[in-house]
Amino acid sequence: MPFKRNGAGSPAIQSIHPQAAIPGGEVTIRGKGFAPDGRPRVTFGGADAALIVGSDKLVIARVPDGAASGDLVIYNGESKSQPVAFRLGRIVADSLHPVANPYVDAQGNVFSTFSGSRGQKTPVSVYKIDPAKEMTPFLSDLMNATAIVGAPDGESLFVSSRFDGVVYEVSPSGVMSVYVEGMGVATGLAVDGEGNLYVGDRSGTIFKVSPDRQIYVFATMEPSIAAYHLAFGPDGWLYVTGPTTSSFDSVHRVAPTGEVEIYYRGLGRPQGIAFDVEGNLYVAASWGGRRGIVRITPAREPSVFLSGPNIVGLAFGAMGKLYITTTGALYEANVGVEGLLRR
């Protein structure tokens, strides 16, 4: 991304990477004139950022919690750079405990969990955040709500419980019923174009549940690989992640016939996944020492797309919006990417 200088002696920003972040994310800024006689100052939306590295040509800044907008400015003590628009994720809801992707319905409502620790009963299991950003309890009495996905009818939701191995079907009004049980430590969920539900068991088994609720073993992975997060790609393959203690984890994918292969290896603790319409895969993970959302192109080339700590999931909405779940909150960022929406 090329930028123009503001004037003689002013800092000149030449590149920013990544070009999106949530508070706490680290951003690398390259250029010149940042600190000819001292330490530069960086602001996001007028809020001062903490500097990890500060020099005349290179700055690594941490996005502050108080940033109100994404305009990025560098001061060198005498003058400042031109403001550069930055894609800043803003908090939508806090006091949550998601462990996977949020879900966005066709009306723009976002659903996210308060999962709790294993065996912990929480007052609210799933929250609904409407387009006006009003958060209301949606579902209670579900232990350890884990993954959420839209049901084939386009209105109901499927929600998994890693506590009792059950996938529940939930009506638009929040009425819950057992859809299928006996799913082991039920975690990841995905639905294909024919209405089949796929359920990841933390031990590595992926179950396929037909619309008439017949259960099949679709794929079996190594026991050390948890099928914790599932998503279908535009190629019709099922993509799978599950974090381990390794810093060199893989994204797996499963063919429509059930064969498993490694799609990409080299991520740290990969979690929630989603696709855009061009076939790029987005993974909540770390890569190259940076934590955030990693974009992997169809040519399997990775880069950090959005920077931020404690990210566990993501989901695309309409109009280029991206919803991001951390271990305690939900963020919205306008990233200008058309997601592959699964309704």
In a domain, 166, yes or no: yes
Q: Is residue 4 very low, low, confident or very high in pLDDT (cuts 50, 70, 90)?
A: very low
Kindly state whether residue 231 falls inside one of the protein's structural domains. Answer: yes
Instruction: Name the domain boundary from 54, 88, 122.
Output: 88
Question: Quick one: 284 and 303 in the same domain?
Answer: yes
Counting every residue written for the chain, the total comes to 343
**Can you tell me the mean pLDDT for 196-222?**
95
Enter the tokens of residue 13.
Answer: 């920003």
Q: Is 326 domain-assigned? A: yes
Vertex 150: Cα angle to 164 and 309 (nearest 5): 75
Q: In this model, does residue 1 exceed pLDDT 50?
A: no
Total structural domains within the chain: 2
pLDDT digits (tens, 9 = 90+) for 232-242: 999 999 999 98
The domain boundary, picked from 88, 116, 137, lies at 88
Asked if the structure places residue 1 within a domain, the reply is no
Q: Give CA torsion, residues 245, 246, 249, 255, to 10 deg.
A: -60
- In this structure, the answer to whether residues 66 and 110 fall within a common structural domain is no
Q: Does 56 fall in a domain?
A: yes
Shared domain check, 166 and 253: yes
Rounded distance, CA 247 to CA 267, Å? 6
Buried/exposed code over 14-43 (b: 16+ C-beta within 10 A; e: otherwise): eebebbbbbbbbbbbbebebbbeeeebbbb
200 and 170 co-located in one domain = yes
Domain assignment of residue 4, yes or no: no
> Same domain, yes or no, for 106 and 175?
yes
Q: Are residues 266 and 129 in the same domain?
A: yes
At 224, is the pLDDT very low, low, confident or very high (cuts 50, 70, 90)? low
326 and 309 within one domain: yes
pTM exceeds cut of 0.85: yes
Shared domain for 21 and 166, answered yes or no, is no
CATH of the domain at 140: 2.130.10.10
Q: Are residues 78 and 150 in the same domain?
A: no
pLDDT, tens digit, for every residue of 285-323?
999 999 999 999 999 999 999 999 999 999 999 999 999
Residue 68 has pLDDT above 50, yes or no: yes
Tell me, yes or no, whether 342 lies in a domain: no
pLDDT of residue 244: 79
Residues 46 and 116 in one domain: no
Query: Last residue of a domain, which of 88, 111, 127?
Result: 88
C-alpha–C-alpha distance, residues 295 and 336, integer Å: 14
List the domain range (segments joined by +) for residue 292: 90-334
Q: How far apart are CA 134 and CA 129, in angstroms?
A: 5
| 103 and 35 together in one domain | no
- CATH classification at residue 56: 2.60.40.10
Give the residues across from 326 on adjacent strands. Answer: 311
pLDDT over 90, % of the chain:
85
Looking at the fold, whether 66 and 108 belong to one and the same domain comes out as no
The residues facing 25 across adjacent strands are none
Helix (H) or strand (E) holding 67: none
85-141 pLDDT, tens digit per residue, is 999 999 999 999 999 999 999 999 999 999 988 878 889 999 999 999 999 999 998
Would 72 be classed as within a structural domain?
yes
